Amino acid sequence: LNRMRRNMRKTEGTSDLDILFTVSRGDSRGYYRPNFIRQRLEQNIVELADDTGLQIISLTTEVCRRDVCVKGECRDRLYLDDAAYVRYNINDESFYAPRHTRTFECICREGFGGKRCDVPIDKCSKEQCTRDEVIRK
């Protein structure tokens, strides 16, 4: 969510407010999936913006997309720094949040490496190896 810049000050850097949250199903039944929450927010986005006085710039549920990891599987990662908090001031009210980073990790298929699994690391990653070449590894 983004607060109108004239009404919101962050103690450092940009005035963007990035809100992370989970929604419990209740009765110890776990949490709702991110895409379900996103759909519900999108259905009520105008009302939510009006009620909060915030300008909603975007809704992001996952960092991973199909094309992120070339030869591997993408996993979303969220890192919270519980030792470093950021303070936001909104109309004489303060909001404190732990500094956080959203990123991804690629779990590469055998024979590939690099941050996006796009680097062949041996002969067999470029072309099919013969049975003898696989056994000699």
Establish if 132 belongs to a structural domain.
yes
Residue 116 banded pLDDT, cuts 50, 70, 90 = very high
Token pair of 57, please? 């710039």
Establish if 1 belongs to a structural domain.
no
Rg (CA), the chain: 22
Establish if 2 belongs to a structural domain.
no
What integer best gives the mean pLDDT of the chain?
Answer: 80
Residue 113 banded pLDDT, cuts 50, 70, 90 = very high
pTM of this structure: 0.59
Percent helix / strand / coil, the chain, rounded to 5:
20, 35, 45
Q: What is the pLDDT of residues 28-73, one digit of tens each?
A: 899 998 889 889 999 999 998 888 788 888 888 888 988 899 999 9
Establish if 87 belongs to a structural domain.
yes
Number of domains in the chain: 1
Confirm if 55 and 62 have CB atoms less than 8 A apart.
Answer: no
Query: Domain limits at 13?
Result: 8-136
